[in-house]
Amino acid sequence: MDSNPKAVAVHSNSVTTIHGDALSENADAYVWEFFQEGTWIVAPGLNNAPDYVACPLLKISDHNNTVKLRRRILMPHSIGYDSYYKLKVKAI
């Protein structure tokens, strides 16, 4: 996984598509995850596709927040991570 996340700004209470990195081989499955309280957990919304559709549940509070997001890739003989993002969620 790239140690330099891509910065993206999104608005809370909006539906946003985050595009996953191109893969060199086909994946069996995808799981988008976000970092919360020291743990990577499954992200809300459409989280099992090559691209992530962030749902309005990204609204964490009435203040701007930063959320780390990544894609877990399940391949025939391995598990990897890519598509590392730092989302700035702007309160509306």
What pLDDT was estimated at residue 46?
86
Task: Report if residue 1 sits inside a domain.
Answer: no
Residue 21: which domain range?
A: 6-90
- pTM metric for this prediction: 0.79
Per run of 10 residues, the mean pLDDT along the chain (length 92 residues) is: 73 79 84 91 90 70 75 90 86 68
What pLDDT was estimated at residue 82?
92
Task: Report if residue 19 sits inside a domain.
Answer: yes
Task: Report if residue 82 sits inside a domain.
Answer: yes
Positive or negative, the CA dihedral 76, 55, 41, 71 is positive
What pLDDT was estimated at residue 62?
56
CATH number for position 80: 2.60.40.3010
DSSP letter for each residue of 48-80: SSSSEEE-GGG--SSS-EEEEEEEEEEETTEEE
Distance CA 1, CA 21 (A): 11
What pLDDT was estimated at residue 11?
67
Task: Report if residue 22 sits inside a domain.
Answer: yes
Domain count within the chain = 1
